[in-house]
Amino acid sequence: MQDNTNAGAAQRLNWLSIVRGITITLVVMYHVRMQDFSTHQNYTFISDIYNLFNTMRMPTFIFVSGALLYYTRIAKGWGTGRLYLDKIVRVGVPLLFCTIIGCLSQIVFNGFVKHPHPVTVQTFLLSLVTCDDMPWPHRWYMMELLVLMSLYPIYSLAIQKQWRAALFGLLVVVLYIFDFTAPVSHNWFYIFTVNKYLPYFYLGVVAFHYQWWQYLRNYKVALVVVLLHIGMFFVPYECDLLLLLHQFLGIATMVTIGLWLDRIVPQLCSAWRKYVFQIYMFGIAFQAFVELILWPRFGTPNMIVPFYLLNIISGILFPVLICKVVERIPIQWVRLCFGLK
């Protein structure tokens, strides 16, 4: 028999699944690179599209990760040791698998990629601790996610008291303005940029703990948030804190969109929102095939829009199809390599 309480909670958070589906689509769009044959650069309109969502895409993507940590782990009282083991398996194993696949792909496609370089044992070992100038550099988020998850006991302690939550939030905002990468040659395991992503992740934790997202169900509040987010595009600023504010407004705008779409198209993105992690890990390989193999051979300038859409569809569709196949494999460790249960 279905637990009606859990079913009700899942129903209330369907909007979060919609937001996940939208944000991974924006991430795939960001990974699109289609070379203009006349300039040998990415088409301007493609860059313009993904620049439009810069204040929403990764901030919301990371915010959702923090929200899910709270909803699926902190709220259920998971201990720190159990959480660490869980994330080593659920994120660390796919990271290792992606590192191996990335190095092998680099060897095979060195003649096609834009930045070829030999893959050695040293390359593989370095790929385990850094993504700088390494195969499949988008693995940075998996490293960053492990670092963000390692602060689990701090999140759990902070939200127990409002003053602790506020104090840690203030610390997170202050740390955001610093650049810790300047003194180091490599951003080892992306530790030195955790301060740049922690505000979004922690916001996801506290926004769910204190149910702040519920305020956006009020259409007046939602309208003000959306208008402020749009308005800040026309305000010239170079201050890091103003950028952070704009990104927070971008997250709130995405939440608003998710809540609104949940009321009118609750099944939106249902074909792929279950496989967000897998799309992020493997979609870029299929996008690279479109960009580096199909486009130079079959593309023409007047076909850029169909190829642009093909790039996006490939980055979403093929990882989903792979997941459908892997889910049928009765070997647990194979599924874990793909981040599947």
HEC sequence for 55-101: CCHHHHHHHHHHHHHHHHCHHHCCCHHHHHHHHHHHHHHHHHHHHHH
- Distance CA(256)–CA(222), nearest Å, equals 6
Which parts of the chain sit beneath pLDDT 70? 1-11, 113-115
The label of the residue with tokens 């088409």 reads 43
pLDDT for 11 equals 53
Structural contact between residues 172 and 199, judged by C-beta atoms closer than 8 angstroms: yes
Q: What pLDDT does residue 3 have?
A: 43
285, amino acid identity: A
Q: How high is the pLDDT of residue 114?
A: 67
Give the model's pLDDT for residue 51: 94
* 235: its two tokens: 């305000």
Hey, what's the torsion of the CAs at 143, 150, 63, 338, to 10 degrees?
Answer: 50
160 within 8 A of 186, measured Cβ to Cβ: no
**What is the chain's mean pLDDT, rounded?**
93
How high is the pLDDT of residue 108? 84
Q: What is the pLDDT of residue 313?
A: 98
Give the tens place of pLDDT for each residue, 315-338. Answer: 999 999 999 999 999 999 999 999
For residue 324, give the 3-state DSSP assignment. Answer: helix
Which position has the token pair 């196949």? 325
Q: In this structure, what DSSP letter does residue 118 have?
A: -
Tokens of 166: 């506020």
Helix (H) / strand (E) containing 256? helix 240-264
